[in-house]
């Protein structure tokens, strides 16, 4: 294991595209929050990005093997931090998701739990040498992801909890799940989701969660309530047209809090189909570049790690953009790299740091 | 441990790439659907979201009297409202707000709760027409209570104490029933329109047209940026009435504390100079919002304060009807030679009809019958004329018909005839009924304005005018509704007849007449008193102490005797005797004459004394040849201070 690593091996192309997306995000945050009580969010977002870049470089310096070997400790810390949130967390809008840090900042541990889960799943599947997965592998991988998932669900934060799922799915898929096993699990999962939704006696989902999850099917049913955001988002995107418009939905505050989860709607309104498609293309390039990095990874662990990041990022984009377009339920999942929010930005850059970590070591040993 | 031997299947990674591609194609398709296929629909929705039409309310036109003095004005009225889109805890502030606005905190909280399910941009209207100190409270707490705001609207300012209330009428929000009628089809819910009086009659002129402002609003309904489009409001046009405030004040003062109506008119033109009905209501109570209790009290009041008795009271005219009887009798050639001997009553068709003077009037001719109001003479005249001829003349002079006055809800009254009885009762007319009609009793029911118009026509050589309260010259060209107001109809009557009748009427206020107490020295007033029973005499005897059943006093009079300038009709409900009504009428006439004499055109004003030269003949009836021409020079002192004229209706300075 050589230690000749160089920043020349950093994926500058990837960082370039990522920063372009971040820049568009900052511009849109500026546009959406100017003259509102959120004014200045664009500047704070820049600080988070700068901090994220520093974090990315720091993470890339530590050999990912070292991280993976110590992942069980990190896993324990992650579970502990989720416990802390559940017990001492700040209650905001009916959910305990945030821990108040001494500096006056708030931190959402459920974000960086994602990083640890990526590492943990990578380690689990890297350690498996056989091609065929046994049912116990399923259960173990499921448990690794499932325990923190249930804890986040209890906050309650359904959206973030759901983002843990693709990490496990991706691990299982490239870890060599057989079609038969995959189908069986998918069927069982579908059955479970169906039970949660259609048995009112089961109180796993809170009423507002069920409303948010189902309102996308019928946004007009309750235009002032949970369907309101969705309706306004559809109007914002639709009125953008081919080339974009003045953005009255965003600037008239019809689209609530457009700088976070609905930033893609705000962007689509101002820049139209052409602009929005451009952003999707940028994300697609980033994802393709990431999978390419996964292919050239020096070992199984590296591949799993990068593909974990790909899974989370893809899932976020699918659910967020799908939500904005009315194709997915409103779950409160931010659009990575563009949405305003420190935790989300930090997570993305730390995750990219791990990808860089893997890439820089592709020619070693 | 991390050996390279167990490489991941590249097929699976490629599969992941295809899955990602599929996801992105799916998202791109969704984007295409919204932004390209359905973009127009969403663009419209976005427009509807942000463009709001804010009405600019047009102030109603002011109302002036004949000399341009204000009668009805507008005043800026502020409504306190609570904005619900701020982040304030309204319930926590409710106590302070209620105290500052003199409201019950419980009511404020109830309102907040009531509005909880409404869209946030809809404010809560806390209190209409707030006082200046409540307004000051809101201004002083702008920072402390940012959710508290005011909105300004012009409201009607009417004269105090119901001055001219029935003629002016009042305004109110257009009701749903009204909107279904063709007259109001171009109005919108929430419009403030006239509901009675000239406010209703001339609503089209007074109302003006609301403008609108297209503004861009945010989701809180707050305006952002400059208006996109603005259509200014067209204020309502002013309305000039024919009312003379000074005369109106005199009429109001005359009838103060009594029930009934006074109406005064220029018989040349039909211009109404004054119109009062009592009891009155205060239209200012309607200018903001009339409460249910207030409304119920007005509607259920047995004295009918909402009724304009000048045009809506249908009552027996009593002896005032004799003026018309005399005219009919003269025209038919009967009255000239008719003399009767009155011994306190006469028998017709087997029934005795009493005269109001039980001892009788002795020998009575037409002149004496008028100034002494002898019933027996007119019984006899009625009997000779028959109901057909009486009804013909009464109808010619507009009795039992609407006068066409430009006020809403005028009533027609009843002038009975054989046809009328057959039509309404399917009964034959009994000749005995004619006798009662002769003294204005029986089925005769007319309004004060009808009586005034008929007597005015008799005094004016048969010139029938249309009474009106709006000055048609001040109205916009092409406003056809007032074209008929200047119509004049001429009814041919013999000058000798109306000269004799009006001469007899001028003796009514002299010592030999029925109302000598109403005499005003120096003013030549001709008139006729009347008192009419409300119910039959038998019923009245049973309820001797019930004031509601007292007889109504009437008086209709004019000045001067020839070519009069003003005709006044008084209905004094429960006034018992016509002479009491006459006193009210002469107060109005005196005010009119005083005002005329005060005008500089009629009198040299600057000097305290004026010199007048005069030539006159001193008649010598016995020897006309000795008639002498005389001349003289007089110095008159005109320094007498007359009360100043009003500058505006009471309460409108």
Tens digit of each residue's pLDDT (9 = 90 or more) over A60-80:
888 888 888 889 899 999 898
pLDDT at A313: 94
- Among residues B480, B488, B500, the alpha carbon closest in space to that of B464 is found at B488
Q: Helix or strand or coil: residue B71?
A: strand
Residue A81, pLDDT > 60, answer: yes
CB distance B50–A299 less than 8 Å?
no
Q: Which residue has the tokens 């192309």?
A: A13
Q: How confident is the model at residue B1 (pLDDT cuts 50, 70, 90)?
A: very low
Q: Helix or strand or coil: residue B489?
A: strand
Joined tokens for residue A348: 């993305």
User: Which comes out higher in pLDDT, residue A253 or B108?
Assistant: B108
Residues 6+ apart with CB under 8 A from B401: B395, B412, B413, B415, B450
Joined tokens for residue A133: 């997965």
Is residue A294 less than 8 Å (CB to CB) from chain B? yes
Residue A314, pLDDT > 90, answer: yes
- Neighbouring CB atoms inside 10 A of A109's CB total 24
Among B9, B23, B35, B39, the residue to mutate for chain A (most A Cβ within 10 A): B35
- Residues A170, A175, A180, A181: what is their CA dihedral angle, to the nearest 10 degrees? -70
Buried b (16+ CB within 10 A) or exposed e, B433-463: bbbbbbbbbbbbbbbbbbbbbbbbbbbbbbb
CB B451 within 8 A of CB B317: yes
Is the preceding peptide bond at B279 cis, omega within 30 degrees of 0? yes
Q: Which of A266-270, B106-110, B513-517, B640-644 is predicted least confidently? A: B640-644
Residue A98, pLDDT > 90, answer: no
Q: Please compute the mean of the pLDDT values over residues B608-633 and round it to a whole number.
A: 75
CB A58 within 8 A of CB A51: no
User: Which comes out higher in pLDDT, residue A265 or B544?
Assistant: A265
Q: Please compute the mean of the pLDDT values over residues B616-629 and round it to a whole number.
A: 72
Kindly tell me the sign of the dihedral angle through the C-alpha atoms of B302, B303, B308, B313: positive
Is the preceding peptide bond at A8 cis, omega within 30 degrees of 0? no
Residue A241, pLDDT > 90, answer: no
Q: Please compute the mean of the pLDDT values over residues B186-210 and round it to a whole number.
A: 85
**Cα separation, A290 vs A148, whole angstroms:** 26
pLDDT at A203: 56
Q: How confident is the model at residue A133 (pLDDT cuts 50, 70, 90)?
A: confident
**Cα separation, A173 vs B13, whole angstroms:** 9
- Neighbouring CB atoms inside 10 A of B140's CB total 11
Q: Which of B14-28, B149-163, B408-422 is predicted least confidently? A: B149-163
Is residue B151 less than 8 Å (CB to CB) from chain A? no
Beta-bridge partners for B79: B151
Beta-bridge partners for B209: B234
Question: How close is the nearest chain A Cα to the Cα of B48, in Å?
Answer: 11
Q: Which of A330-334, B92-96, B180-184, B623-627 is predicted least confidently? A: B623-627
Three-point CA angle A98, A83, A126, nearest 5°: 100
User: Which comes out higher in pLDDT, residue A91 or B374?
Assistant: B374
Asked if CATH classification 3.90.79.10 holds for the domain at B245-279+306-475+482-598, the reply, yes or no, is: no
Residue A130, pLDDT > 70, answer: no
Q: B-chain residues within 8 Å CB-CB of A272?
A: 35
Q: How confident is the model at residue B251 (pLDDT cuts 50, 70, 90)?
A: very high
Q: Which of A149-163, A343-357, B555-569 is predicted least confidently? A: A149-163
CB distance A284–B21 less than 8 Å?
yes
Q: Which of A15-19, A243-247, A285-289, B420-424 is predicted least confidently? A: A243-247
Within 13 Å of residue B210, how many CA atoms lie on the same side as its CB? 17
Joined tokens for residue A195: 């039970």
pTM: predicted TM-score of the whole model, two decimal places = 0.61
Q: Helix or strand or coil: residue B600?
A: coil
Q: Which helix (H) or strand (E) holds B198?
A: helix B197-201
Considering chain B, what percentage of its residues have pLDDT values greater than 90? 38
Helical residues (DSSP H) of B409-469, grouped into ranges: 418-425, 431-437, 448-459
Kindly tell me the sign of the dihedral angle through the C-alpha atoms of B384, B387, B392, B394: positive
Is the preceding peptide bond at B560 cis, omega within 30 degrees of 0? yes
CB B636 within 8 A of CB B609: yes
- Among residues B581, B615, B643, B511, the alpha carbon closest in space to that of B309 is found at B581
Residue A268, pLDDT > 60, answer: yes
CB B371 within 8 A of CB B511: no
pLDDT at B565: 93
Is residue B216 less than 8 Å (CB to CB) from chain A? yes
Q: Please compute the mean of the pLDDT values over residues B268-282 and round it to a whole number.
A: 92
Strands B63-64 and B239-240: parallel
Q: What is the DSSP code (8-state) at residue B479?
A: -
CB distance A291–B4 less than 8 Å?
no
Joined tokens for residue A69: 């070997």
pLDDT at A212: 62
CB distance A301–B49 less than 8 Å?
no
User: What are the E-state strand segments in B167-228?
Assistant: 171-173, 192-194, 211-216
Q: Helix or strand or coil: residue B622?
A: coil
Which of A59-73, B104-118, B532-546 ranks highest by mean pLDDT? A59-73
Reported as a single tens digit per residue, the pLDDT across B335-383 is: 899 999 999 889 999 889 999 888 988 999 999 999 999 999 999 999 9
**Cα separation, B94 vs B97, whole angstroms:** 5
Q: What is the DSSP code (8-state) at residue B209?
A: B
Q: What's phi and psi for B82, nearest 5 deg?
A: -110, 120
Reported as a single tens digit per residue, the pLDDT across B38-76 is: 888 888 777 776 666 667 778 899 999 998 899 999 888
Joined tokens for residue B645: 């004229």
Q: Rounded to whole angstroms, what are the CA distances from A249 to A239, A246, B34, B91?
A: 9, 9, 15, 31
pLDDT at A252: 65
Residues 6+ apart with CB under 8 A from B79: B125, B126, B127, B128, B129, B130, B150, B151, B152, B153
Mean pLDDT of chain B: 84
**Cα separation, B618 vs B626, whole angstroms:** 9
**Cα separation, A92 vs A100, whole angstroms:** 12
pLDDT at B3: 44
Is residue B225 less than 8 Å (CB to CB) from chain A? no
Considering chain A, what percentage of its residues have pLDDT values greater than 90? 30
CB B622 within 8 A of CB B588: no
pLDDT at A328: 85
Q: Which of B132-136, B421-425, B515-519, B645-649 is predicted least confidently? A: B645-649
Question: How close is the nearest chain A Cα to the Cα of B276, in Å?
Answer: 55
Q: Please compute the mean of the pLDDT values over residues B388-399 and round it to a whole number.
A: 94
Of the partner residues A248, A273, A287, the one whose CB lies closest to the CB of residue B20: A287
Asked if CATH classification 3.90.1310.10 holds for the domain at B54-167+207-240, the reply, yes or no, is: yes
User: What are the E-state strand segments in B238-335?
Assistant: 239-240, 259-266, 271-278
Q: What is the DSSP code (8-state) at residue A244?
A: -
pLDDT at B122: 67
Residue ranges per structural domain of chain B: 1-39, 54-167+207-240, 245-279+306-475+482-598
Is residue B76 less than 8 Å (CB to CB) from chain A? no
Mean pLDDT of chain A: 82
Among A69, A174, A175, A252, the residue to mutate for chain B (most B Cβ within 10 A): A252
- Among residues B497, B171, B190, the alpha carbon closest in space to that of B335 is found at B497
Residue A259, pLDDT > 70, answer: yes
CB distance A176–B9 less than 8 Å?
yes
Q: How confident is the model at residue A224 (pLDDT cuts 50, 70, 90)?
A: very low
Among B6, B7, B20, the residue to mutate for chain A (most A Cβ within 10 A): B20
pLDDT at B596: 84
CB A33 within 8 A of CB A42: yes
Is residue A305 less than 8 Å (CB to CB) from chain B? no
Residues of B with catalytic annotation? 319
Residues 6+ apart with CB under 8 A from A195: A202
Q: Please compute the mean of the pLDDT values over residues B470-498 and round it to a whole number.
A: 83
Q: What is the DSSP code (8-state) at residue A220?
A: G
**Cα separation, A165 vs A149, whole angstroms:** 8
Beta-bridge partners for B192: B173
Q: Which residue has the tokens 């409504």?
A: B79
Residue B444, pLDDT > 80, answer: yes
pLDDT at B589: 93
Joined tokens for residue A150: 């249930």
Q: Rounded to whole angstroms, what are the CA distances from B439 to A235, B261, B310, B373, B377?
A: 81, 21, 21, 9, 10
Q: Which helix (H) or strand (E) holds A342?
A: helix A342-360
Q: Which helix (H) or strand (E) holds B153?
A: strand B148-157
CB B309 within 8 A of CB B446: no
**Cα separation, B407 vs B413, whole angstroms:** 16
pLDDT at B2: 45
Q: What is the DSSP code (8-state) at residue B37?
A: I
User: What are the E-state strand segments in B148-258?
Assistant: 148-157, 171-173, 192-194, 211-216, 229-231, 239-240
pLDDT at B120: 64
Q: Rounded to whole angstroms, what are the CA distances from A115 to A152, A355, B90?
A: 15, 11, 44
pLDDT at B537: 47
Residue A101, pLDDT > 60, answer: no
Residues 25-84 of A with CB under 8 A from B: 65
Q: Which helix (H) or strand (E) holds B465?
A: strand B463-465
Q: Please compute the mean of the pLDDT values over residues A314-340 and round it to a whole number.
A: 89
Residues 6+ apart with CB under 8 A from B546: none
Considering chain B, what percentage of its residues have pLDDT values greater than 70? 88
pLDDT at B608: 66
Is the preceding peptide bond at B599 cis, omega within 30 degrees of 0? no
Q: Which residue has the tokens 């002479």?
A: B579
Residue A257, pLDDT > 60, answer: yes
pLDDT at B543: 53
Q: What is the DSSP code (8-state) at residue B305?
A: T
């Amino acid at each position: 294991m050589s230690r000749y690593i160089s920043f020349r091996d950093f994926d500058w192309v990837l960082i370039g595209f990522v920063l372009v997306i971040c820049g568009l995000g900052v511009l849109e945050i500026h546009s959406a929050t100017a003259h509102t009580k959120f004014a200045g969010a664009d500047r704070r977002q820049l600080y988070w990005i700068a901090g994220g870049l520093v974090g990315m470089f720091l993470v890339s310096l530590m050999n990912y093997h070292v991280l993976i070997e110590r992942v069980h400790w990190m896993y324990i810390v992650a579970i502990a931090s989720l416990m802390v949130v559940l017990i001492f967390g700040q209650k905001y809008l009916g959910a305990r998701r945030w821990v108040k840090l001494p500096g006056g900042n708030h931190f959402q541990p459920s974000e960086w739990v994602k990083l640890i889960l990526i590492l943990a799943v990578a380690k689990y599947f890297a350690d498996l040498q056989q091609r065929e997965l046994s049912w116990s592998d399923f259960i173990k991988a499921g448990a690794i992801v499932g325990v923190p998932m249930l804890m986040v669900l209890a906050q309650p934060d359904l959206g973030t909890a759901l983002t843990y799922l693709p990490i496990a799915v991706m691990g299982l898929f490239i870890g060599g799940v057989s079609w038969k096993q995959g189908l069986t699990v998918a069927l069982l999962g579908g059955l479970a989701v169906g039970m949660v939704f259609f048995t009112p006696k089961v109180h796993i989902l809170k009423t507002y969660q069920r409303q948010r999850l189902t309102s996308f099917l019928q946004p007009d049913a309750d235009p002032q309530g949970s369907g309101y955001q969705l309706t306004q988002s559809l109007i914002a995107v639709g009125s953008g047209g081919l080339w974009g418009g003045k953005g009255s939905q965003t600037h008239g505050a019809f689209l609530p809090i457009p700088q976070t989860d609905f930033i893609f709607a705000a962007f689509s309104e101002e820049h139209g189909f052409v602009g929005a498609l451009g952003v999707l293309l940028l994300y697609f390039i980033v994802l393709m570049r990431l999978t390419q990095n996964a292919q050239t990874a020096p070992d199984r662990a590296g591949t799993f790690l990068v593909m974990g990041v790909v899974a989370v990022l893809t899932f976020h984009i699918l659910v967020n953009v799908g939500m904005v377009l009315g194709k997915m339920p409103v779950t409160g999942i931010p659009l990575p790299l563009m949405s305003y929010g420190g935790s989300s930005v930090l997570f993305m850059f730390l995750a990219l740091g791990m990808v860089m970590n893997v890439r820089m070591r592709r020619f070693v040993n | 441990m991390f050996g390279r031997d167990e490489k991941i299947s590249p097929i699976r990674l490629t599969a992941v790439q295809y899955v990602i591609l599929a996801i992105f194609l799916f998202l791109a398709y969704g984007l295409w659907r919204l932004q390209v296929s359905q973009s127009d629909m969403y663009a419209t929705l976005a427009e509807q979201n942000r463009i709001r039409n804010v009405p600019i309310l047009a102030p109603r036109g002011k109302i002036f009297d004949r000399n341009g003095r204000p009668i009805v004005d507008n005043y800026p009225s502020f409504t306190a409202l609570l904005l619900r889109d701020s982040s304030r805890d309204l319930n926590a502030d409710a106590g302070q707000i209620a105290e500052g606005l003199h409201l019950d905190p419980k009511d404020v909280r109830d309102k907040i709760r009531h509005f909880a399910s409404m869209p946030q941009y809809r404010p809560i209207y806390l209190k209409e027409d707030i006082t200046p100190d409540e307004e000051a409270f809101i201004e002083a707490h702008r920072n402390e209570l940012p959710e508290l705001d005011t909105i300004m609207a012009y409201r009607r300012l009417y004269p105090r104490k119901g001055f001219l209330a029935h003629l002016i009428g009042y305004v109110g929000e257009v009701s749903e029933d009204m909107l279904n009628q063709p007259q109001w089809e171009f109005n919108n819910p929430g419009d403030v329109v006239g509901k009675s009086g000239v406010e209703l009659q001339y609503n089209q002129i007074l109302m003006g047209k609301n403008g609108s402002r297209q503004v861009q609003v945010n989701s809180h309904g707050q305006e952002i940026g400059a208006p996109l489009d603005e259509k200014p409001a067209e204020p309502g046009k002013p309305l000039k009435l024919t009312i003379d405030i000074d005369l109106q004040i005199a009429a109001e003062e005359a009838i103060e504390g009594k029930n009934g109506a006074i109406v005064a008119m220029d018989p040349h033109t039909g211009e109404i100079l004054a119109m009062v009905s009592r009891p009155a209501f205060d239209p200012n109570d309607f200018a903001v919002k009339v409460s249910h209790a207030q409304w119920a009290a007005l509607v259920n009041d047995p004295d009918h304060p909402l009724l304009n008795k000048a045009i809506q009271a249908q009552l027996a005219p009593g002896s005032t009807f004799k003026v018309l009887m005399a005219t009919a009798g003269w025209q038919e050639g009967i009255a000239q030679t008719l003399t009767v001997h009155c011994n306190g009553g006469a028998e017709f068709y087997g029934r005795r009809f009493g005269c109001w003077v039980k001892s009788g009037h002795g020998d009575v001719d037409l002149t004496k019958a008028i100034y002494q109001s002898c019933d027996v003479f007119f019984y006899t005249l009625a009997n000779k004329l028959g109901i057909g001829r009486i009804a013909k003349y009464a109808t010619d002079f507009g009795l039992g018909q609407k006068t066409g006055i430009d006020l809403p809800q005028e009533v027609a009254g009843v002038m009975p005839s054989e046809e009328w009885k057959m039509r309404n009762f399917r009964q034959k007319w009994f000749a005995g009924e004619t006798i009662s009609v002769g003294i204005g009793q029986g089925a005769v029911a007319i309004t004060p304005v009808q009586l005034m118009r008929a007597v005015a026509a008799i005094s004016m050589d048969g010139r029938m005018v249309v009474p009106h309260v709006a000055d048609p010259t001040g109205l916009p060209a092409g406003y056809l509704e007032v074209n008929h107001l200047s119509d004049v109809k001429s009814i041919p009557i013999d000058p000798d007849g109306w000269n004799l009748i009006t001469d007899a009427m001028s003796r009514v206020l002299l010592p030999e007449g029925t109302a000598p107490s109403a005499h005003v020295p120096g003013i030549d007033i001709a008139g006729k008193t009347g008192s009419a029973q409300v119910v039959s005499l038998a019923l009245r005897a049973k309820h001797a102490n019930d004031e509601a059943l007292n007889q109504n006093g009437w008086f209709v009079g004019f000045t001067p005797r020839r070519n009069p300038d003003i005709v006044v009709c008084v209905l004094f409900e429960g006034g018992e005797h016509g002479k009491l009504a006459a006193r009210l009428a002469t107060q109005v006439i005196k005010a009119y004459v005083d005002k005329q004499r005060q005008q500089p055109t009629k009198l040299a004003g600057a000097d305290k004394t004026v010199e007048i030269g005069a030539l006159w003949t001193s008649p010598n009836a016995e020897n006309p040849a000795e008639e002498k021409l005389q001349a003289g020079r007089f110095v008159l002192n005109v320094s007498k201070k007359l009360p100043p004229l009003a500058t505006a209706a009471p309460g409108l300075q």
